[in-house]
Amino acid sequence: MSQQVRGVISRAKGAPVELTTIVIPDPGPGEAVVDIRACGVCHTDLHYREGGINDEYPFLLGHEAAGVVESVGAGVTHVRPGDYVVLNWRAVCGECRACKRGRLQYCFDTHNAERKMTLEDGTELEPALGIGAFSDKTLVAAGQCTKVDPSASPAAAGLLGCGIMAGIGAAINTGGVGRGDSVAVIGCGGVGSAAVAGSRLAGAERIIAVDLEDRKLDWARGFGATHTANARENDPVEAIRELTGGFGADVVIDAVGIPQTYEQAFYARDLAGTVVLVGVPTPDMRIELPLLDVFGRGGALKSSWYGDCLPSRDFPMLVDLYTQGRLDLDGFVTEEIGLGDVEDAFARMERGDVLRSVVRL
């Protein structure tokens, strides 16, 4: 029996989001319905509303969530009703050329539920990143559910479902940050601050946080930044070089994702250093660099999908670090809000007032 619940949808480009009634079908084979307990507001939700991802409106927004499995479809064995899970947006297939080579984190054929959630009039909804968790319940592929320690608060654990995992993974998995490295992070919202926290976990010696807002820089210090630079007042490339003996950082993480910050990241890294792009550009953006500099500076230019994470490996591990007090996930939760407050939360995100607003259900 399908069920009706509340959900936050984006109906048209740039229009304010709406809280409305949505219809959740029973889970089909390999699928699960999850009772959502918390869902963070990520910048990618705003990208969806702005038409920056695609134009398959209406979207059911929200994708950074923890909840409890309510029901599962045929053939689902790794989770069952009652399990406390964090949702992921890259359920690996196990069959594609990446998976077959043991590189599951790159799976080229990740999947979502096939059954469709709809509006009451039957209009099919496009769930953000195949999740759609600004809702009382959502339907996902069972592989999108990863069991974690139920003692972790949903607001904190859910953040691992997107931005915080992406940031931590951009540093540790993609950037390969290790003991003694110098790291610079450009853009210290939820994702960038998590890259700072990940760099500290990995033992970086120097962590330079760059943002336009002093408030973000103060928060970044709390997560482990040893130095900060406000990009309104200083040229980030010069500031980062100055703080690294004139050379640049071993790893520079662009957590904004615009040509200007990418170019800054490119020139703010040391010779043979690594650039990690984790911020998501829009389709119109272009970058122009002297090819000789690309060659001459050596090193690696990498992009980080979801922090190159493997949910089955990384979510339980990071939740354990959190429950042990070694990873401050609570520090990312600036405020807890209701389902009707998402539009206001977008405005606060754009003003730079929050690291994460988290919808609690």
Ligand X SMILES: NC(=O)c1ccc[n+]([C@@H]2O[C@H](COP(=O)([O-])OP(=O)(O)OC[C@H]3O[C@@H](n4cnc5c(N)ncnc54)[C@H](O)[C@@H]3O)[C@@H](O)[C@H]2O)c1
- Give the footprint of Zn ion on this chain (CB under 5 A): 42, 44, 93, 96, 99, 107, 109, 162-163
**Whose Cβ is closer to Zn ion: residue 163's or residue 236's?**
163
| Angle at the Cα of 105 from the Cα atoms of 59 and 294, rounded to 5 degrees | 95
Minimum distance from CB of 3 to ligand X (Å)? Answer: 29
Q: At 99, phi and psi to the nearest 5? A: -60, -40
**Whose Cβ is closer to ligand X: residue 162's or residue 183's?**
162
**Whose Cβ is closer to ligand X: residue 185's or residue 339's?**
185
Q: Which does 161 bind (CB under 5 to 8 A by kind): ligand X, Zn ion, none?
A: none
CA 290 to chain centre: 31
Amino acid, res. 235:
D
Q: Which does 25 bind (CB under 5 to 8 A by kind): ligand X, Zn ion, none?
A: none
Minimum distance from CB of 197 to ligand X (Å)? Answer: 12
Q: Which does 257 bind (CB under 5 to 8 A by kind): ligand X, Zn ion, none?
A: ligand X
Minimum distance from CB of 160 to ligand X (Å)? Answer: 11
How far is the CA of 56 from the CAs of 49, 126, 240, 267, in angstroms?
A: 10, 7, 40, 37
Binding site for ligand X (CB under 6 A): 42-44, 47, 162-163, 166, 186-192, 210-213, 216, 231, 255-257, 260-261, 278-280, 304-306, 349, 352
| Angle at the Cα of 352 from the Cα atoms of 154 and 53, rounded to 5 degrees | 75
Minimum distance from CB of 301 to ligand X (Å)? Answer: 15
Q: Which does 115 bind (CB under 5 to 8 A by kind): Zn ion, ligand X, none?
A: none
Q: Which does 93 bind (CB under 5 to 8 A by kind): ligand X, Zn ion, none?
A: Zn ion
**Whose Cβ is closer to ligand X: residue 23's or residue 131's?**
131
* Six-digit token string for 351: 């003003």
**CA distance linking residue 329 with residue 323, whole number of Å:** 9
* Six-digit token string for 236: 């980030």
**Whose Cβ is closer to Zn ion: residue 163's or residue 189's?**
163
Q: Which does 125 bind (CB under 5 to 8 A by kind): Zn ion, ligand X, none?
A: none
At which residue do the structure tokens 């947006």 appear? 89
Neighbours of 347 (CB within 10 A): 12
Burial grade of 47 (CB within 10 A; 0-12, 13-18, 19 or more): middle
Q: Are β-strands 356-360 and 333-337 bridged in parallel, bridged antiparallel, or unpaired?
A: parallel
Q: Which does 96 bind (CB under 5 to 8 A by kind): ligand X, Zn ion, none?
A: Zn ion
**Whose Cβ is closer to Zn ion: residue 189's or residue 236's?**
189
Q: Which residue is nearest to ligand X (CB)?
A: 189
Report whether 299 contacts 272 (CB < 8 A): yes
**CA distance linking residue 128 with residue 157, whole number of Å:** 19
